[in-house]
Amino acid sequence: MNVSEAKKRAEDESVEEVVTSLFDNIEKSELNAFITLAKESALKEARKVDRNGAKGALGGIPIALKDCISTKGIETTCGSRILKGYVPPYDAHVVERLRAEGAIIIGKTNMDEFAMGPSTETSYFGPTKNPHDLSRVAGGSSGGSAAAVAGEGVPIALGSDTGGSVRCPASFCGIVGLKPTYGLVSRYGLIAYANSLEQIGPFACNVEDVALLLNVIAGYDPRDSTSMDKKCEYTKELRDDVSDVKIGVPKEFFGEGIDEDVEKAVWDGIKILEDVGASYTEISLPHTKYSLAAYYIIAMSEASSNLARFDGLRYGLRLGKDEDWHTTFSEIRAQGFGEEVKRRVLLGTYALSAGYYGKYYLKALKVRTLVKRNFDAALKDVDVLITPTMPFPAFKIGEKTDDPLALYLADVNTVPINLAGVPSISVPCGFSGKLPIGMQIIGRHFDEGKILRMAYTFERHAGVRC
Amino acid sequence: MITKRDVEHIGWLARIKLTEEEKSKFTEQFNSILDYFERLDEVDPDVPPAHNISGLVNVFRADVVRGSMSRDDALDNAPKKEGEFFKGPRVV
């Protein structure tokens, strides 16, 4: 169900009917897309809209939110045992905007614990399943949000993207997902994992709804020191015209390890855009091969610092018997964090420790400079870059859990974009058997309008639908 | 080469108690992951580090007194509290 269909249904029946039927779908579903359902508050909101009429850009439209986005009065766990039972006393900036525009929050979606992973298998609440094949992952870490849109009929959802966590599940679930430019959407109220990399991003079944949701959540917020005042009306940018667009195709993203069906589907996608007027040229981003290592060092280092606040004292898990401070704190974190979180916090602590700071963390930050310069140079010559979003379609649940490095390698096409801070959208471009494939369109800083226009034109001519 | 003893020490620094099984597993995995990170040694970048993407150095706001979260709200999620305070484990 997209936003227009939800509006039409609400007019024909009622907003309460739409919301009730969504909850019925979710409760019958096997996907495990949600951690918390806000049934009572959502139905109350729905009745209010039915009484007073829909107001705002998203009046009466149901939305699902990733469980790392703080919601006043609704439990927010980050997919972790350590935050089970935590009810934020405030709304994230994006949630304030959604409420102001009349959206109805129906629940909090499943995610990799603290957004660490490309598969939603590290959640304390169990993995989310792929709506196209229940034996496979939905992608991560915003797998619950993507599966809610693709499989349960939620018109729109929000995720967060640190190294591909919106685009990966969008690709695996066959929907549209956007990672905005770093600084376009406020991170106030987003529970931090790696704050120099992550951005909140929208999911929907089509590009128009993603643009509509971006209109609502983008914009300056003084509470986030990295927030920028660069917003525009994204829905006005949508037109079926790419005749002025030069595409760059970076050869490093089509290298070893890419699935044949994925490579073919993305090249077919580029040809479709060429047929409707865009031009393309093959280019190189030479430092791409160092991106993954640099990304993980930076992300783990930031995680080790950001997750230091979880001590069970002010909120979250507290065990029955207290010993001394160090023992109690260490035991709470041992029982509250899952294996992947421990792995990343420990590796981050190691990378920041005396003697290794220069070898790992400082070098990774310098490599980020090189990667960013590669993107800046490439995007001077071309308007957008196109690559596969993921190197392969959704994999089987459990297939990669014993080998963390293999799982990290899955992010190879998405993490360079977070290092450079540029915007990027994943649009469905075909199938491998019954599994969806995503095409990634990358733009210049704050040029969301152009990549949305590219995606919109592609969607019109490719005939691939959610 | 990282050893089991190193992993134990990092666990202590990070305030995460590790089981013997975790120490063994992480030792093996950390060596393989750190081997992968070694590829950064292939480049010797003579460039400034990018601490953030937007190039921000300082962000100032006017020095104006503003409200904050109420004490009741701040205490609402605390698993253990006493009166107006969080109740923590003993430090010494």
Q: What percent of chain B has pLDDT over 70?
A: 100
pLDDT at A64: 98
- The CA dihedral of A78, A84, A90, A92, to the nearest 10 degrees, is 10
Instruction: Say whether pLDDT at A464 is over 80.
Output: no
Under the banding of pLDDT at 50, 70 and 90, the label for residue A255 is confident
- Contact (Cβ atoms closer than 8 angstroms) between residue B45 and residue A374: no
Least Cα distance to B73 among A266, A87, A150 occurs for: A87
Residues A165-193: pLDDT tens digits?
A: 999 999 999 999 999 999 999 999 999 99
- Contact (Cβ atoms closer than 8 angstroms) between residue A371 and residue B53: no
Angle at CA of residue A423, ends A63 and B61, nearest 5°: 85
- Contact (Cβ atoms closer than 8 angstroms) between residue A60 and residue A10: yes
Residue in chain B closest to A324 (alpha carbons) equals: B90
Contact (CB<8Å) B91/A408: no
- Contact (Cβ atoms closer than 8 angstroms) between residue A136 and residue A142: no
pLDDT at B19: 97
Residues A410-437: pLDDT tens digits?
A: 999 999 999 999 999 999 999 999 999 9
For residue B70, count other CB atoms closer than 10 A to its CB: 10
Tokens of B81: 């509290």
| Interface TM-score (ipTM) > 0.90 | yes
Pick among B40, B51, B60, B61 to test the A interface (most A CBs inside 10 A): B40
Which of A226, A296, A345 is closest, CB to CB, to B14? A345
Which of A85, A346, A364 is closest, CB to CB, to B26? A346
Contact (CB<8Å) B47/A369: yes
Residue B32 to residues A104, A338, B2, B6: CA-CA distances in angstroms?
46, 20, 10, 15
Contact (CB<8Å) B16/A342: yes
Q: Which residue has the higher pLDDT, A405 or A261?
A: A261
Under the banding of pLDDT at 50, 70 and 90, the label for residue A246 is very high
Q: Could you tell me where the beta strands, DSSP code E, fall in A75-163?
A: 104-109, 129-130, 133-137, 156-161
Contact (CB<8Å) B45/A297: no
Residues A31-51: pLDDT tens digits?
A: 999 999 999 999 999 999 999
Which of B6, B11, B50 is closest, CB to CB, to A365? B50
